[in-house]
Structure 1
């Protein structure tokens, strides 16, 4: 097990605020002008921001770094988080669709994390799975523009599902901050 002194030195691309991931003017999540109008647009904007954050946390890493379980004894890795969120998006899509649920992407419990191995094909597949499952869940939710509408399965409101999706990404982006810093010292933001 690595001792604290063996951890990589902290680093950042930021010059204005060196404790940040990147300078605010260079952060693709920042935009000029007023924020989105309305509740749905605001929720979708926050979801898009957290999705982009996860992608940024994975940028520039090779398969070994993405698959590294850098915070022992946790089985989490950045690649595992990508696979986990693909699985979660599929679960939300299953929640919305009629008929038999689509099968799990990665099989057994914790298959999303345990199968996150340092192979380029696994990395490519994970990011393709995430993009596909995000698009499918987004399309299914777009059928319910009334955030107060209660869905037939357990009567959950569309608003609650949207907030839960944001919460899931936000929580895992926090994990990604720690995982990335332990991989190569890149600080979170």
Structure 2
């Protein structure tokens, strides 16, 4: 038994040091050297203070701001520590109620808007943390935001166009608008 115990303990300690200390230290050093901004959360700063992350959504529900996708995280919205989808199917009454509630909130915030509501404004993403919306979802909200801010529709449209990112490498994904960046641009425009 002693002949087996010593090699097992040595192997256990060696693997613990390699996989638990050395490997994480090397990966952290490489990520900090090569991708420092991303490794530290892709934070967006204003006046020297972090106001959010480029890759984690935030809740906006005031009429003068663009609204993002719903968050499925619990107990708080956009909680990166509990990222998950809702796992609710299209016929689940809880999902139907959630969509009806968001439709009502959108209608109450902009009662004159009869345009079809883009699906990404009434559903959550798979992670529940999506920081981006489609250009159609941004366009749906332009009149409400312009009115609430006392800006022209054209001014807000121009900010949306500036905040719209195309497909990655020209072919991957869909065009998208980062909600936090757009809302910060709106705040800066009204200065």
User: Taking structure 2 as the reference length, what is the TM-score of the superposition?
Assistant: 0.24
Of Structure 1 and Structure 2, the greater strand share is in 2
- Give the TM-score normalised by structure 1: 0.25
Higher relative contact order by CA 8 Å / sep ≥ 6: 1 or 2?
1
The structure having more radius of gyration, on CA atoms, is 2
